[in-house]
Every structure is written in structure tokens, then in C-alpha cells.
Amino acid sequence: MPWWGWIVFGALLLGAELFVIPTDFFLVFLGVSAIAVGAVTWLGVASATVQWLLFAAGAVVSLVLFRRRFAARSAQPANPRVEGLVGEVGTAREPIAAGATGRVELRGSPWSAQNVGDAIESGARVRVERVEGLTLCVRRI
């Protein structure tokens, strides 16, 4: 493959990761490896076998050495505004059986809530025990 083919291939892989297919940084390392092979090929490595071996080795080495670091840095932290709801008191908008999901009102907004205690009647006061995503885990007070 000509040197510019590797550069285009690498750019397509990077673009796919960024704009089309979120693969948790796998395509980034393949794209960087392809661009590096393009640069080496431009400098004079002409054998197709050597190019593909360099691409494979670069991709594997970069994935093993750097993927965890990049993934850890880009991890989304927990939303402190939602996590801050633990311990808050709300009101059940409907009856919620033990272990079932229903609606509660908290801070003037309706929330999806899972009952982690005994049955809750409509209008009963509930306390937020924990938050799982956007679902409040509540218990009757």
C-alpha cells in the first residue's frame, strides 16, 4: 500500500472512532498505528509484508501499553448533582409494592424510583437510599 493509503486508512479509523462508532479507544490505536506505518513507508520501507507487520505490532503494543490509561482518563465521573440526592426526602406519587418501580416527587420533580423496603402507599414520605443511574432507590419513612 502506498504511504498515503496508510495515512487515509488511519484518518478513517480515527474519524470512525470519534464520530461514528464509539469503541472505547480501540480504533484510535489502530488509526495511530496506520498513520505511523504511513510515515515509515514515506521514509522508504517498501515491502507490503513489513508494512502489515509494523501495523499489527504497533496496534497491539499501543493497545496493551496505553489503552487502560486513556480509558481511565476519559471515564465519566459520577454526577454529583444526582448522587447528592441520597438522604433526601420525597413523596410517593403512586403506590409502590416492595421491590417494584414507581414514581416519586423530589425537589418538585417526578423521578423513577425503586422501592427497596416495605410497600409504599401513595402520598407516603420516602427517603432516598442510593441512586442507580437516574433511578432513585427509596424506602418509606
Three-state secondary structure call for residue 109: strand
Angle between the N-to-C axes of helices 3-15 and 26-43, in degrees from 0 to 180, rounded to the nearest 10: 160
pLDDT of residue 139: 95
Question: What structural domains does the chain harbor?
Answer: 3-74 (no CATH), 80-140 (2.40.50.140)
- The pTM score is 0.51
pLDDT of residue 37: 95
- CB of 112 within 8 A of CB of 125? no
Which is more confident, 13 or 81? 13
Mode of pairing for the β-strands spanning 135-140 and 109-115: parallel
Instruction: Give pLDDT tens digits for 99-136.
Output: 999 999 998 999 999 999 999 999 999 999 999 888 99
Q: What is the mean pLDDT of the chain?
A: 88
